[in-house]
Amino acid sequence: MTTEEILQLAKTFGFDDMIGERDDETDGVYYECWEDQLLKFAQEIRKQTIDEILTTLEKVPNPEANRTAINRIRSI
């Protein structure tokens, strides 16, 4: 996932983006969320990453060679 996609997903899960002062006294964006939002966000990142891996494995010239890996990943 790209940085843009991750930040958009954070907004989708209700993270609030705010401007704040960093330790070096410059301003920057930070995100706030509740625990349940963070957990759902992390689970979605994991799901999308696994989906990307499965898609890549399924496109190899000999998908039979990856069947065990694909099945193991899907069972997680």
- pLDDT tens digits for 47-61? 998 888 888 777 777
CA distance 48 to 56: 12
Q: What local confidence, expressed as pLDDT, does residue 65 receive?
A: 67
| Residue for token pair 């006294």 | 25
CA distance 26 to 44: 31
Query: Does this model's pTM top 0.85?
Result: no
Average pLDDT over residues 10-20: 96
Q: Interhelix angle for 35-58 vs 67-74, to 10°?
A: 160
**pLDDT at residue 69 greater than cutoff 90:** no
Q: What local confidence, expressed as pLDDT, does residue 55 receive?
A: 82
Map out the domains of the chain as residue ranges: 3-74
